[in-house]
Amino acid sequence: QKEVEQNSGPLSVPEGAIASLNCTYSDRGSQSFFWYRQYSGKSPELIMSIYSNGDKEDGRFTAQLNKASQYVSLLIRDSQPSDSATYLCAALSWGAQKLVFGQGTRLTINP
């Protein structure tokens, strides 16, 4: 069973601090990793994708991938109340069509 695990939270972070979201995956054949943000009542929107070990930065967001540890993380710097949402981690295995999603981490940024 291919699994992606996330802490469901809720994770509370004060405004302006760094929010750290973590994800582990079981399938060593996973090649591509994605972070989606989902606001309550809305559909998921893509934040970042990452394919190689190391860090990938995009504005206030940094994705980190460690394939040896089967670990993906998302850092949000200078957290804003508008970052409050559920964050979904997803993995795609080589040759597979469908993403495997984690259950999501609910993040709350406190003003």
By CB under 8 A, name the binding residues for another protein: 31-32, 34, 36, 41-46, 49, 88, 92, 97-99, 101, 103-104
57 or 78: CB nearest another protein: 57
Q: Are 57 and 65 in contact (CB under 8 A)?
A: no
Q: How far is the CB of 90 from another protein (least distance, A)?
A: 8
**Nearest-angstrom CA–CA distance, 78 and 52:** 25
What residue type is assigned to position 64 of the chain?
Q
20 or 32: CB nearest another protein: 32
Listed in sequence order, the residues at least 6 apart from 57 whose beta carbon sits closer than 8 Å to its beta carbon are none
Count the Cβ atoms, other than its own, within 10 Å of residue 104: 21
Q: How far is the CB of 80 from another protein (least distance, A)?
A: 22
42 or 77: CB nearest another protein: 42
